[in-house]
Structure 1
Amino acid sequence: MYRKELFVYEGDRPVRAVIRNYREEDFEGLIEVQQECFPPPFPSELWWNREQLSNHVNLFPEGALCVEIDGRIAGSMTGLLTEYHVNDPDHTWEDVTDNGYIRNHNPQGNTLYVVDIAVRPAYRKLGLGKWLMFAMYDVVVHLGLERLLGGGRMPGYGSKAEEMSAEQYVEAVLNGSLKDPVLSFLLRCGRMPVKVVPGYLEDEQSRNYGTLMEWRNPCLTV
């Protein structure tokens, strides 16, 4: 199981953080994180529920990570294992994650697929999202997987959709002429774009597009 202690910084002040696997006793805190990250009008039925969280810790506990600050859960990241190949057809978030229930988790899969990452707004200046991502990279290496993969929202695209295609928007982010809150964050975490997927998730800001982005295990030749 995973546990890492580290210091993050709030301005010039070091703050102790712990990244670890989440457990059943953490469920209420994890649901609170969802509520703060996705407030109304985001539909409350799309927040994590206890059945989903139970599946995470029972089916793939290695992919159920949280970060604590002063004993309070400040964020979480969840994954599952799937078999992925670069020539596979496009998929949706709902299909590949079983709508967050991960009952399709494949213990023999070659890829750790990101189901969700969320950090409470009050803690976002501490860089916890990046540290959660790095922790999940550790899981990829430890399990000898080929890659970490997930679809990134592109919420800045909605305001540019009349001017350019989704692929052109991603290219503009890559060449630095545009910034996107999600894609730019993933790039800073070392993720590399694979392809743009139409209809990836229901998200008006992204015009329902997602960008598959991966991190390859540097210990393997794929």
Structure 2
Amino acid sequence: MLYRKQVYLKNGQGFAPVVVRNYTQQDFDELIQIQRESFPPPFPSDLWWNMEQLENHVTLFPEGALCVEVNGVLAGSMTGLIVHFDKEESSHTWQEMTDDGYIRNHSPDGNTLYVVDICIRPAYRNLALGKLLMQSMYEVVVQLGLERLVGGGRMPGFHRHANRLTPQEYLEEVLRGQLQDPVITFLLHAGRTPIRILENYLEDEQSLHHAVLMEWVNPFMTRLLEI
């Protein structure tokens, strides 16, 4: 079942019409441009989407390929796949869990939606579009009857504090509000809960290749998961 909703978000003195929907082949060129704008150097350019990856997203799991438009302009996207996930499993990398972004390992009978990517055009980051996309993907989790949404959150502020803090200590200071991290703080505001630190998760100099594995548990499945 495909997804579409329209809301109005505050924009200056008024409200802008915003649409969240599934992205299609017609959006591919613009999605790649959004990646360029959202992840400038030192983020590796070879991690931007390519046409084959995007084609796989819309054919293997179109329900997990979401984008957001503001006044008809494509402003961001979020992508996921379904996996078999055990919360107690050992660490993993982004490449392993997402098939390097190609999602050929998508498992329709899995229990968890794993986040491949979320990005918002810098010019539109004052509208809380990332939180809107995240909430929309939670709705996909509920619609599909999955147990949870999980993904690794980059720690782009960590490199400035690595001389005095371990990754876990950095996370704890973010949780206490003593530090703000562009990604982890956003994910906390969007309802995600930290599980553990992932080492060598993604080639990312700012995070020193670390990430925080963070989940959102389907509230309609919580009691079942506790049994």
Give the TM-score, by structure 2 length. 0.95
Cα offset for 1:178?
Answer: 1.1
The residue matched to 2:162 in structure 1 has which SS?
coil
Q: Match of 1:6?
A: 7
**What is the aligned partner in structure 2 of residue 148 from structure 1?**
149
Rounded Cα–Cα distance in structure 1 between residues aligned with 2:140 and 2:33: 25
Offset, 1:42? 3.8
Deviation at 1:211, TM superposition (A): 0.2
What's 2:92 paired with? 91
Q: CA deviation at 1:39?
A: 2.8
Question: CA–CA distance in 1 between the matches of 2:187 and 2:206?
Answer: 17
Matched position secondary structure for 1:181: coil
User: Over aligned residues, Cα RMSD in angstroms?
Assistant: 1.0
Measure the CA separation in 1 of the matches of 2:170 and 2:125. Answer: 25
Amino acid at match of 2:168: E
SS of 2:97 mapped into structure 1: helix
1:31 & 1:202 partners in 2: Cα distance?
19
Question: How far does residue 68 in structure 1 lie from its aligned partner after superposition?
Answer: 0.8
The answer for the alignment partner of 1:119 in structure 2 is 120
Which structure 2 residues correspond to residues 109-188 of structure 1 after superposition, within 5 A? 109-188=110-189
The reply on whether 1:194 has 2:195 as its aligned counterpart is yes
What is the CA–CA distance in structure 1 between the aligned matches of 2:174 and 2:43, rounded to whole Å? Answer: 26
Tell me the equivalent position of 1:53. 54
SS of residue paired to 1:129:
helix
Structure 1 portions without partners, runs of 5+: none
Contact 2:42–2:205 under 8 Å retained in 1: no
The aligned residue for residue 78 of structure 2 is 77
Q: Which amino acid aligns with 1:26?
A: D
5+ long unaligned stretches in structure 2: none
Deviations 1:166-206 (A, max 9, x none): 10110111111111110000000000000001111111111
Moved more, 123-132 or 5-14: 5-14
Partners of 2:203 and 2:42 in 1: CA distance: 14
TM-superposed CA distance for 1:12, in Å, is 2.6
User: Any conservation in 1 of the 2:83–2:107 contact (CA below 8 Å)?
Assistant: yes
